[in-house]
Chains A and B, each alone.
Chain A
Amino acid sequence: MDLTLKVWRQDGPGKPGEFREYEAKGISPDSSFLEMLDVVNERLVEAGDVPIEFDHDCREGICGTCGVMINGHPHGDQKGTATCQLHMRKFNDGDRIVIEPWRATGMPVMRDLIVDRSPLDRIIEAGGYISVNTGGAPDANLIPVPKPAAESSMDAAACIGCAACIAACPNSAGQLFTSAKLAHLNLLPQGQPERYARTIAMVETMEEFFGSCTNHGECEEACPKSISIDNIALMNRDYIVAKFKDRRKAGQR
Chain B
Amino acid sequence: MTTLDAKVPAGPIQDKWTNHRFDMKLVNPANKRKYEIIIIGTGLAGASAAATLGELGYNVKVFTYHDSPRRAHSIAAQGGINAAKNYTNDGDSIYRLFYDTVKGGDYRSREANVYRLAEVSNEIIDQCTAQGVPFAREYGGLLDNRSFGGAQVSRTFYARGQTGQQLLLGAYQALARQVSLGNVKLFNRSEMLEVVLHEGRAVGVVVRDLINGEISSHSAHAVVLATGGYCNVFFLSTMAMACNTTAIWRAHRKGAFFANPSYTQIHPTCIPVHDEFQSKLTLMSESLRNDGRIWVPIDPDDTRAANDIPESERDYYLERIYPSFGNLAPRDVSSRAAMRMIDENRGVGPLKNGVYLDFSDAINRLGKDVIEARYGNLFEMYERITDEDPYDVPMRIYPAPHYSMGGLWVDYNLMTNVPGLYAIGEANFSDHGANRLGASALMQGLADGYFVLPYTIADYLADWLNVKPVPTDHEVFKEAEQEVDGRLKQLLSINGTRTVDSFHRELGKIMIEYCGLARSKPGLEKALAEIPALRDEFWKNVRVTGTEDNYNSELQKAGRVADFFELAELMCRDALEREESCGGHFRVEHQTEEGEAKRDDVDQAHVSAWEWKGFNVPQAHHKEPLEFENVALAQRSYK
Contact = CB atoms under 8 A, between A and B. Distances in A.
Could you say which interface size class chain A belongs to?
35 or more
Contacts of A154: 134, 136, 159-160, 166
Contacts of B160: 154, 158
Given A45-B554, A154-B159, A124 B176 contact: yes
B467 interface: no
A63 B179 CA distance: 21
A150 B212 contact: no
Contact of A137 (B87, B123, B381): B123
B382 to A, nearest CB: 11
B503 to A, nearest CB: 12
B165 interface: yes
A11 interface: yes
Interface string B385-414: 101000000000000000000000000000
A250 interface: no
A38 to B, nearest CB: 5
A30 interface: yes
Interface in B157-190: 159-160, 162, 165-166, 169, 172-174, 176-177, 179-180, 186, 188
Contacts of A44: 545
Given A134-B450, A144-B140, A191-B132, A42 B550 contact: no
B242 interface: yes
A85 interface: yes
A167 to B, nearest CB: 15
Nearest to B380: A80
B201 interface: no
Interface in A30-64: 30-32, 34-35, 38-39, 42, 44-46, 48-51, 53, 55-64
A79 to B, nearest CB: 11
B275 A28 contact: yes
Contact of A46 (B134, B137, B543): B543
Interface stretch (B91-99, B277-285, B340-348, B565-573): B277-285
B67 interface: yes
B214 to A, nearest CB: 13
Contact of B176 (A30, A34, A129, A141): A129
Contact of A57 (B73, B128, B186, B450): B73
Contacts of A59: 240-241, 279-280, 282
A83 B500 CA distance: 24
Contact of A135 (B123, B241, B282): B123
B617 interface: no
A34 B279 CA distance: 9
From A32, A57, A138, A154, name the one whose CB has the most chain B CB atoms within 10 angstroms.
A57
A157 to B, nearest CB: 5
Nearest to A65: B71
Given A60-B76, A87-B384, A130 B499 contact: no
Contacts of A56: 241
Interface string A98-134: 0000000000001100101110110011101111111
A58 B502 contact: no
Interface string B489-512: 000000001011110000000000
Interface in B100-130: 123, 125-130
Contact of B545 (A50, A117, A135): A50
Contacts of B544: 45
A59 B87 CA distance: 35
Interface string B55-95: 10000000000111111110110000000010100000000
A120 B69 CA distance: 11
Most A CB contacts (10 A, CB to CB) among B67, B142, B282 go to B67
A143 B632 CA distance: 39
23 contacts: A28-B275, A35-B277, A44-B545, A45-B499, A51-B554, A59-B279, A64-B71, A80-B380, A121-B68, A124-B172, A124-B173, A128-B176, A132-B130, A134-B48, A134-B174, A137-B130, A140-B125, A141-B85, A150-B141, A153-B134, A188-B134, A190-B130, A190-B131
Interface of A: 11-13, 28, 30-32, 34-35, 38-39, 42, 44-46, 48-51, 53, 55-65, 78, 80-81, 85-87, 89, 110-111, 114, 116-118, 120-121, 124-126, 128-141, 143-147, 150, 153-154, 157-158, 160-161, 184-185, 188, 190-191
